[in-house]
Homo-oligomer: A and B are copies of this chain.
Amino acid sequence: MSSTHHSICIVGGSGAEGSGLALRWAKHGHRVVIGSRDPAKAEAAAVELNERLGRSDITGAESSVGAASCDVVVLTVPFAGQMSTLESLKSQLGGKILIDVTVPLVPPKVSRVQLPESDSCVVAAQKMLGETVRVVSAFQNVSAHKLKNLDHEIDCDVLVAGDDKEARAIVIALAGDAGLRGIDVGPLANSVVAESLTSVLIWINKQYKIPDSGIRITGLPR
């Protein structure tokens, strides 16, 4: 568990995955800002999340305003919006940790792995943003609706990849704060596993008629 409290802007936080993380981190005591292109949408999402938790400190803001006020920024938008959103936030991200949750799904064949030319869309984000932003890949494989159910124990590990070791450690602690086990999987290039695994989990859900497959790394000390 992290002993540090962070301020975390979740861009795309009105969506399912982002709002699940928002709930869990706010509950743990982190300051959470929901970011959206549309500030009214962000504020409405914040109100709804505060109601669920019986509190009032989750706020909503236009994404670049929210990002400017936080030390950790989390990107949870569809693949098609990843680069344009990051470009619009670039000037706010210097010196910060960006947790990129993007999965390179290409509809309609979302259960088929279709990697981008760079193999990893998170590596592509790091290249575009430059070295001053510490990009970490995480949370791609966790079911959004399980995240939103705070009583549910989630049987899925979080693969955490990034080129900065300290940033990986911070994100592993943040996974713990959300009730998840984060695993250090090394350099950002290794993000390919989490990015491709999401299509495989979608396939498994259909094939075996189950709601939420996930993965666990075995062989680790308990």
Binding site for B on A (CB under 8 A): 111-115, 119, 155-156, 159, 183-187, 189-190, 192-193, 196-197, 199-201, 203-205, 207-208, 210-221
Contacts and interface: CB of A to CB of B under 8 A. Distances in A.
Nearest to A214: B218
Contacts of A204: 183-185, 217, 219-220
Copies of this chain in the oligomer:
2
B155 A113 contact: no
A175 B207 CA distance: 18
Contacts of A208: 184, 220-221
Contacts of A159: 200
A19 B199 CA distance: 32
Contact of A219 (B185, B193, B210): B210
